[in-house]
């Protein structure tokens, strides 16, 4: 497996497995209208637009993208692992790389607006639950857990 910066030509592949995650995993945690709204709005064009202020990294194997994570200021964004590769260390590798970037930027904390399904993963990575959130996004209310991790560089 290899970690590298996201390239514009990765967009359609990334959007495919992000949408696959939404269809396969989110229905166990969110109402149907929320899942459908998120799925409909996860397009390559919107993904690139959101990413203008983010750095994205991807994990690849051969030419296949297995995971993506973004960092905007100190907030972890667009963190997804291809569903076929869940529980194989891809998420841990992405967090490790995000922490390396944070260290280079001398960040003291990382934050994440976690979906309910990812709360356990982030907790295992050292993030602490701060509070629940509910944000109005278009016609839906998107709920989740705001989490934070203090970074030590000793």
Query: pLDDT digits over 90-129, tens only?
Result: 999 999 999 999 999 999 999 999 999 999 999 999 999 9
In the 8-state DSSP scheme, what is residue 83? G
3-state helix, strand, coil in the chain (%, to 5): 45, 35, 20
**In this structure, what are the phi and psi dihedrals at residue 63, rounded to the nearest 5 degrees?**
-110, 10
Whether residue 110 contacts residue 98, with contact meaning beta carbons closer than 8 Å, is answered with yes
Lowest-confidence range among 14-23, 66-75, 117-126, 141-150?
A: 14-23
Residue 11: what pLDDT? Answer: 93
Q: What are the strands of the beta sheet with 128-137, ordered from one edge? A: 2-5, 55-61, 64-72, 75-81, 109-114, 140-150, 128-137
Strands 128-137 and 109-114: unpaired
**Domains of the chain, CATH where assigned:** 2-106 (3.40.630.30)
Per the prediction, the chain carries an average pLDDT of: 94
pTM of the predicted model, to two decimals? 0.91
In the 8-state DSSP scheme, what is residue 105? T
Residue 90: what pLDDT? Answer: 96
Residue 154: what pLDDT? Answer: 66
CA-closest candidate to residue 36, choices 140, 109, 117, 121: 140
Distance CA 153, CA 38 (A): 36
Residue 29 Cα distances to 78, 81, 117, angstroms: 18, 17, 6
Distance CA 28, CA 43 (A): 22
């Amino acid at each position: 497996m290899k970690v590298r910066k996201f390239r514009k030509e990765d967009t359609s592949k990334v959007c495919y497995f992000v949408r696959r995650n939404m269809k396969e995993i989110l229905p166990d945690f969110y109402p149907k209208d929320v899942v459908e709204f998120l799925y409909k709005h996860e397009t390559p064009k919107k993904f690139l637009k959101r990413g203008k202020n983010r750095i994205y990294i991807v994990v690849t194997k051969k030419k296949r993208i297995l995971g993506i994570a973004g960092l905007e200021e100190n907030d972890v964004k667009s963190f997804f692992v291809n569903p076929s590769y869940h529980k194989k260390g891809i998420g841990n590798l992405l967090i490790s790389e995000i922490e390396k970037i944070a260290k280079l930027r001398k960040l003291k904390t990382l934050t994440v607006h976690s979906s309910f399904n990812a709360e356990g993963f982030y907790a295992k990575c050292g993030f602490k639950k701060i509070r629940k959130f509910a944000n109005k996004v278009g016609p839906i209310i998107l709920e989740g857990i705001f989490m934070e991790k203090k970074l030590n560089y000793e």
